[in-house]
């Protein structure tokens, strides 16, 4: 099975993008030892800087954390509620503890910023363009990994907070078994305040969902997977799938 997530708000869309980048960074520094993997990790680090640089992002996260704390305080499941309350408290404190602008310590590093600019040029990080970077790439894996972990460290409170919020969102969901007749599925309306739709479908179907959704109407069409076009043709067969609807607003616990 493969699950496709479709955010229904700009806030959740931003959270998912940042989560994706942080997970990619961690994979590149932990699962691969080559200098090329660490080159990709640095590129991902710069993507994180850009994607999370909005001043209002921190406020969005803190507002949602506070809202969740208030909802959890009203939960009837005390033990799990207390654990979640502690998680929310810790990530909020971690986020508030970062006083400087997101990624400011990286922007003050001239070597990193020069590398960031050269990465915009095709082949711009070749050894003769950036000999100091070439030297860094020849250092032992453990030293390069330590540098990457140092550079990402002050960005982690943002990721930790988003991870807790997305965990709450994904857990606050209910599932419906559906069938897309001739590749089409329509639903008159979603429950109020749905923030994320997840579509689970068999990999053997070789399809991907294209979702159009608002509070009045949901339309899911399944397209054939294509390696030549972003959107393949719509399939003309019945597709069984599961639809998970997730919300920040359901009672936690």
| DSSP letter assigned to residue 227 | S
What pLDDT is attached to residue 100?
A: 78
pLDDT of residue 128: 94
Class of domain 173-247: mainly beta
- For residue 78, the model assigns a pLDDT of 65
Per-residue three-class SS string for 164-223: HHHHHHHHCEEEEEEEEECCEEEECCCCCCCCEEEEEECHHHCEEEEEEECCCCEEEEEE
Q: What is the pLDDT of residue 76?
A: 58
pLDDT tens, residue by residue, 22-42: 999 999 998 778 999 999 999
Distance (Å, rounded) from C-alpha 80 to C-alpha 62? 21
- Residue 224 pairs in a beta bridge with 207
CA atoms of 208 and 183, how far apart (whole Å): 10
- Residue 253 has a pLDDT of 38
Q: Cβ(249)–Cβ(193) under 8 Å?
A: yes
Distance CA(183)–CA(196), nearest Å, equals 21
* pTM confidence score: 0.90
pLDDT at 252: 39
Looking at residue 217, its pLDDT comes to 82
d(CA 18, CA 166): 11
Token pair of 41 as six digits = 């990790």
Nearest to residue 90, comparing CAs of 113, 108, 70, 65?
65
Q: Which CATH number fits domain 10-166: 3.90.1150.10, 1.10.3900.10, 3.40.50.850, 1.20.120.430?
A: 1.10.3900.10
Check if the beta carbon of residue 14 is closer than 8 Å to that of residue 51: yes
- The helix (run of H) or strand (run of E) holding residue 127 is none
Specify the pLDDT at position 30. Answer: 85
For 165-201, the pLDDT digits (tens) are 999 999 999 999 999 999 999 987 665 688 999 999 9
Buried b (16+ CB within 10 A) or exposed e, 151-175: bbebbebbbbbbbbbbebbeebbee
> Could you tell me the residue ranges of all domains in the chain?
10-166, 173-247
User: What dihedral angle (degrees, nearest 10) is formed by the CA atoms of 111, 56, 48, 244?
Assistant: 180
Give the chain's residues under pLDDT 50: 252-253
Angle of helix 10-30 versus helix 55-73 axis, rounded to 10: 100
């Amino acid at each position: 099975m493969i699950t496709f997530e479709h955010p229904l708000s700009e806030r959740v869309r931003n959270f998912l993008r940042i989560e994706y980048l942080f997970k990619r960074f961690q994979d590149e520094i932990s699962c691969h030892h080559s200098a090329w993997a660490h080159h990709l990790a640095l590129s991902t680090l710069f993507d994180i800087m850009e994607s999370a640089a909005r001043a209002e992002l921190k406020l969005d996260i803190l507002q949602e954390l506070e809202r969740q704390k208030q909802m959890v305080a009203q939960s009837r499941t005390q033990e799990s509620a207390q654990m979640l309350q502690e998680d929310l408290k810790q990530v909020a404190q971690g986020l508030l503890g970062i006083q400087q602008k997101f990624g400011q310590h990286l922007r003050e590093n001239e070597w990193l910023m020069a590398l960031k600019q050269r990465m915009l040029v095709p082949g711009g990080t070749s050894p003769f363009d950036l000999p100091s970077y070439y030297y860094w790439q020849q250092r032992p894996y453990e030293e390069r990994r330590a540098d990457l972990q140092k550079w990402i460290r002050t960005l982690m409170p943002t990721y930790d907070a988003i991870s807790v919020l997305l965990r709450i969102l994904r857990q606050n969901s209910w599932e419906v078994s559906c069938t897309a007749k001739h590749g089409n599925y329509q639903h008159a309306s979603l429950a109020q305040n749905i923030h994320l739709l997840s579509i689970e479908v068999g990999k053997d179907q070789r399809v991907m969902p294209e979702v159009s959704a608002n509070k009045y109407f949901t339309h899911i069409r399944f397209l054939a997977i294509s390696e030549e076009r972003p959107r393949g043709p719509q399939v003309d067969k019945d597709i069984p799938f599961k639809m998970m609807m997730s919300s920040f607003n359901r009672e936690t616990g």
